[in-house]
Amino acid sequence: MNNGVYIDGTWRAGRGAAFTKHCPATGDISWEGHSASAAEVEAAVASAHAAFPGWARTPVSERIAILERYSDELGKRTAVIAEAISRDMGKALWDSQGEAATMKAKIAVSIAALKERAGERDEPAAFGQSRLTHRPHGVMAVFGPFNFPGHLPNGHIVPALLAGNTCVFKPSELAPSVAALMVEAFETAGLPPGCLNVVHGGRETGAALIDQPINGLLFTGSAATGVFFHKHFAGRPDVILALEMGGNNPLIVWEPADVDAAADIAAQSAYLTTGQRCSCARRLILPKGAFGDAVVEAIVARANAIRIGAWNEPDIFMGPLVSPKAASQAVDFYNMLLAKGAAPILPLTASEQGTGFVSPGVVDVTGAQDIPDEELFGPLIQIYRVGSFEEAISRANASKYGLSGGLVCDDDKLWAQAYGEMRAGVLNRNRPTAGASGAMPFGGPGLSGNFRPGAYYAADYCAWPQASQLAPKASRMTAPGFSS
């Protein structure tokens, strides 16, 4: 495994600070190496700039062919990619296998999106023809998150390369291992040197990268970091920013016929990937009364029955959080809610010292004061009890975020009302909030992003449109009051 920096098609030892990643389930070392120095970050960006003109001039058909070969190479590496992801962040192996498969599937989806949303079109005109084409921006800095360390940066890198950009990729220091496997697949597929460069490291590496002459920043991560990037590039409209910053996502459950189905949807919305999905439900909104009580009881039963274990154990649903620090922060968040008056239903506790393991939690915050509108990246449901459906929608929208949301109900009229009034970029009915299609846009309003949704719409921020009027030869111009 290459654990240094990858610049201009060559791996070299990083000259920055050494760091080690431990598996949060076992404590075993999953990755160790050095971060990129400031000089190496500069060299990586320079390499991407040098490669850009040739890659941008490469016919789209050839770029597509290379990316299709990359898809094939990812398919050959599905098992090793999944294991690398699980070792780094502790994700259940079946979950990581799904992520690895999604990485391969992303190529076909991105090719279709490129053709539909950033392709070419000619139309006849009296003077000749009008043409629409799309041009790449240049060098894209891609910041990867830890929760989907392969799928999410892959979802930026693939459409960026298809459009003719080159990339400098900074993987999350909490899940760095998959980057080398992606590079290996790209090399075998024939991607020219310099088109993709990798710089490992944490905050200092990221700070060095955004100070370089990049043409775009493609980011998935926390709202605090995304807002910092937005401020950093204030007054720089020449740099394209695509920011996806998570959400404090609501799920309304309103008297469906099947309480058990509703509880299944709510529990999966909250606890999938140990709550480490930006589209997980954080806030569960229920009616006051017996039905709401029954839903809570059914969710608690499911939470108590969830199998928790190391990524390589059979039949587990939840692995650990990404680090012991993340586990400690989740427990602190839960205790903070109790201090503000929330009623405990099922405690969120750290179960093994020195690991990322926590238990799934449920807490009723209906009567609490000053509950922060913040995203806890962990397995905790905050319950709000309300007296009317209008109040439920108002509560759902009472957030500075807007990534995902959902309604579980059998009533078509209630769904029509929610569909028209809920503020979420991904809005599901009778499905978990964490379910999203790569063939659709992914993003939302508020502090969930900057209106540059990813997934299928990544093609939009990876190229800019160029409109042309074309005549076969120059002709004399006429207009009222004009003479030559």
Q: Is 376 exposed, middle or buried (0-12, 13-18, 19+ CB in 10 A)?
A: buried
CA distance 75 to 474: 52
Q: Are strands 249-253 and 5-7 parallel, antiparallel or unpaired?
A: unpaired
Q: Are 459 and 114 in contact (CB under 8 A)?
A: yes
Of the residues 40, 73, 173, 244, only one is catalytic, namely 244
Length of the chain: 484
CA distance 192 to 189: 9
Of the residues 23, 167, 195, 278, only one is catalytic, namely 278
* Known active-site residue 409: no
CA distance 286 to 255: 9
Strand-by-strand arrangement of the 139-143 sheet: 10-12, 5-7, 196-198, 166-170, 139-143, 216-220, 240-244
* Known active-site residue 278: yes
Give the residue numbers marked as catalytic. Answer: 244, 278
